[in-house]
Amino acid sequence: MDDTALWPDLPYPAWRETAATLQLWTQIVGKVRLALTPWLNHGWQVPLYVSARGLGTSPIPIGSEILEIEFDFVSHRLVAHTSRGEERTLPLEPQTVADFHLRVIDLLNGIGIAVAIHEMPNEVANPIPFSRDRTHAAYDAAAAHRFWRALVQVDRIFKLFRSGFMGKASPVHFFWGSFDLAVTRFSGRVAPLHPGGVPGLPDAVTREAYSHEVSSAGFWPGNDAFPQAAFYSYAYPQPPDFRDRAVTPGARFDMTLGEFILPYDTVRAAAEPDALLLDFLSTTYSAAAEAGGWDRAALECPLGIPGEVRQL
């Protein structure tokens, strides 16, 4: 299989309506996980994870049992199953956010799981409560499948990058609020209190998420404000001279976004997409670590090799 097949075309305008609807659907499922799972540092109890068929919650506690919910972008269905053996599904097809919300709650009620979620979407422009949103109703199955196939490629490179760090690092996880796949490294030092003010996100959540210094990288498929798929990398707090550091050719520092950007299409068209993306992750992290004075010798290690113990 050639690289263009592995890295599918993702022109944002072509699937804009589906992307907007799918973001809201993932927020509904993500908020189920949020409502049922104890808080974990930096909000790590809320994301979804790339799976062999789509995006899933991982286990959610329900009393002494567990629940898992997965967006299956192969068979185009939402699947909920429990450790008690129940399984329920609903089709992923064109339907309003209001209908999807009702069907998810009914599906969970059908297996004895009563859950109430906060109905206002997060981090989207002009939010509409889920139960009243009859505006967003698109679902292009082929586009959703291509998005997931891109996430599969990004997830594996992010996980390889994560293996080269011995300090505190996040899992590779999909945040349904911002609709992006991300991985974060920590210097080990406490950060200044975040000023908050992130649209659609409570200040308390933002401040807890950025309680410590980070270098964070991710991928998102675009939105109306930035209508193209891209990789990003930023540091919080942003150290002096961070934006002026040399990074991967083809990447640039976006003054409006306050982070380094590498277009997805640049990676997709590269002779070696994996190597280019890994270089972007590595050089932008180095920019943050060098400018921020991280103890790199204590935090870093060679990339992991399958089946080989890390050498001390």
- Cβ of 148: how many Cβ atoms within 10 Å? 20
Q: Structural domain boundaries of the chain?
A: 12-132, 141-299
Q: In whole angstroms, how large is the CA radius of gyration of the chain? A: 20
d(CA 300, CA 215): 13
pLDDT digits (tens, 9 = 90+) for 198-254: 999 999 999 999 999 999 999 999 999 999 999 999 999 999 999 999 999 999 999
Q: Are 232 and 218 in contact (CB under 8 A)?
A: yes
Q: What residues pair up with 88 in beta bridges, in sequence order? A: 80
pLDDT digits (tens, 9 = 90+) for 36-55: 999 999 999 999 999 999 99
d(CA 239, CA 235): 7
Q: What residues pair up with 72 in beta bridges, in sequence order? A: 54, 77
Would you state the pLDDT for residue 4? 56
Q: Is pLDDT above 80 for 285?
A: yes
Q: Are 176 and 23 in contact (CB under 8 A)?
A: yes
E-state strands within the chain: 49-50, 54-56, 60-62, 65-72, 77-82, 87-91, 173-175, 180-190, 212-220, 230-236, 252-254, 259-263
Q: Is the dihedral of CA 64, 71, 221, 196 positive or negative?
A: negative
d(CA 186, CA 203): 21
Mean pLDDT for the stretch of residues 86-113 = 97
